[in-house]
Amino acid sequence: MARTLHFGRWHFRLTPTRYVLILLTLIMMGVAVVRLVTGLGAVTNMSDQWPWGLWIGFDLLSGIALAGGGFSTALIVHILHKDKYAPVVRAALLTSLLGYIIACVSLFFDVGRWYNFWRPFVYWGYHSVLFEVFWCISLYTLVQIIEFGDIFLEKVKIPALKRIIERALPFLLILGVVLPTLHQSSLGSLFIVAVGKLNPLWWSMLLPFFFVWSAFFLGPAMVTLEGTMAARAYGREPETPVFASLTKVTMWMLIIYFIVKIIDLNYRGVFSLAFNGSFESNMFLLEMIVFVALPIVLYAIPSIRNTQWGVFTASFLVVAGVILNRANVCFVGMAQAAGAPYSPSIWEWAITLGLWSLLILGYCFIVENFAILPKEEHGKTVTSGSGAGLRA
């Protein structure tokens, strides 16, 4: 069943898993065409009460947050020059780039009058948070494409172009941290306007802080997850010492996150809402205890953190926790104001599943054809810098 397609200097291996992913991608494309032609009502379960469904609540909010690995590792490696983490930086950049492209595509499917998508570039509704989100995401996607161009041009040699990109790279790297900082926080600010609608357990003037902070601490966890999975898929040695060391950033940021959440709830006088036994309060406690407090403990214990399963489990919880947080803000916290139930239609799921399948396929194709993952020598990973790879 497994065979490799060759086209020119590119190759792509086909395996049973990949056939399934390709099938899901094709279904997604079919549904996308139907949706773009017939409108949203025929395909989705969205309504006046639930104007934002799965595509915004999951693909956009979680997708962009999960891509946070790109900007946090870029900050750590390229801006702060912590070179021992360099082995994971390209993989993080790649996942981030693919995540943003997916988010932009699902946004395009989601907007009702999609031929008008360019309007905010011309009509400056600067008083809208969405305006900032729109500009920042567009620009950052562009920045990431250029950054990736640098890697692309290592294989496809166009020296003149590569020289231009290399010269612009420091500027792009800084822009590539500033822009995501702004729009990751703005994705939280989006819900400030829902004052009185979003449940007070999540509504806060600090929403932008919580969103950008969690997107940042999610970065190392996400890098750990995808690194471990890629290592398994390709029969490589995972960079566990790098992950274990990197996730200490996540641990400290989680601790601060937890403390600020509690202070914020107390300051707004809604702390007791967390314990009133309602569905919202239980979801909030689940989010804070299982997906924030528990990973702190797991990361804090060296004998857990330094093992492959330990750092993977803790990181998995962190990533799942951020997805849960976005779902809580967009769905659970808004349910009471909506006053009607919502569950995504099978077609909404088809689009989501197909887009994420496409992301995985894209990731596989690129790491197999471009220099993304660290070079392996006799089953050992090359690490630059001062021997982070030797501990463990």
Partner 1 sequence: MADIKGVLVDITRCVNCESCVVACRLYNGLEEGKNGAKETQAEKDKLVSNRWTVVQKVKVEKNGNAVRRYVKQQCLHCLEPACASACFSKALQKTPEGPVVYNEKLCVGCRYCFIACPFEIPTYEWDKSFPRVQKCQMCLARVADNQMPACASVCPTSAITFGKREDLLKEAKSRIAANPALYVDHIYGEKEAGGTSWLYLSDVPFEQLGFNTKVTHRPIPDYTWQVLKWTPYIFVGWGALLTGMYMYTKRRAEVHAEEEMYAPVDKEE
Strand pairing category for 3-7 and 10-14: antiparallel
Element (H, E) at 377: strand 376-377
Question: With respect to partner 1, which residue has the nearer C-beta, 306 or 369?
Answer: 369
- 78 interacts with partner 1 by CB under 8 A: yes
- The backbone torsions φ and ψ at residue 234, rounded to the nearest 5 degrees and listed phi first, read -105, 10
289: its two tokens: 């205890």
Question: With respect to partner 1, which residue has the nearer C-beta, 264 or 290?
Answer: 264
Amino acid at site 95: T
Question: With respect to partner 1, which residue has the nearer C-beta, 136 or 292?
Answer: 136
Contact region with partner 1 (CB under 8 A), list: 76-84, 279-287, 296-304, 349-357:
76-84
- The backbone torsions φ and ψ at residue 12, rounded to the nearest 5 degrees and listed phi first, read -145, 120
Question: With respect to partner 1, which residue has the nearer C-beta, 22 or 304?
Answer: 22
The set of residues, in sequence order, having a beta carbon less than 8 Å from that of 142 and lying 6+ positions away, is: none
Contact region with partner 1 (CB under 8 A), list: 62-70, 82-90, 274-282, 350-358:
82-90
- 178 interacts with partner 1 by CB under 8 A: yes
Binding mask 123-152 for partner 1 (x = CB under 8 A): xxx-xxxxxx-x------------------
- 42 interacts with partner 1 by CB under 8 A: yes
Report how far apart, in Å, the C-alpha atoms of 140 and of each of 218, 223, 323, 383 are: 18, 19, 21, 29
Contact region with partner 1 (CB under 8 A), list: 62-70, 252-260, 297-305, 366-374:
366-374
- 159 interacts with partner 1 by CB under 8 A: no
- 264 interacts with partner 1 by CB under 8 A: no
CA–centroid distance for 66 within its chain: 2
Q: For the chain, what is the largest distance between any 2 Cα atoms, rounded to a whole number of angstroms?
A: 64
Measured CA to CA, the distance from residue 283 to residue 18 in angstroms comes to 35
377 beta partners: 380
Binding partner 1 (rule: CB under 8 A), the pick from 28, 75, 288, 323 is 75
By CB under 8 A, what part of segment 229-248 binds partner 1? 230, 233-236
Contact region with partner 1 (CB under 8 A), list: 32-40, 96-104, 287-295, 350-358:
32-40
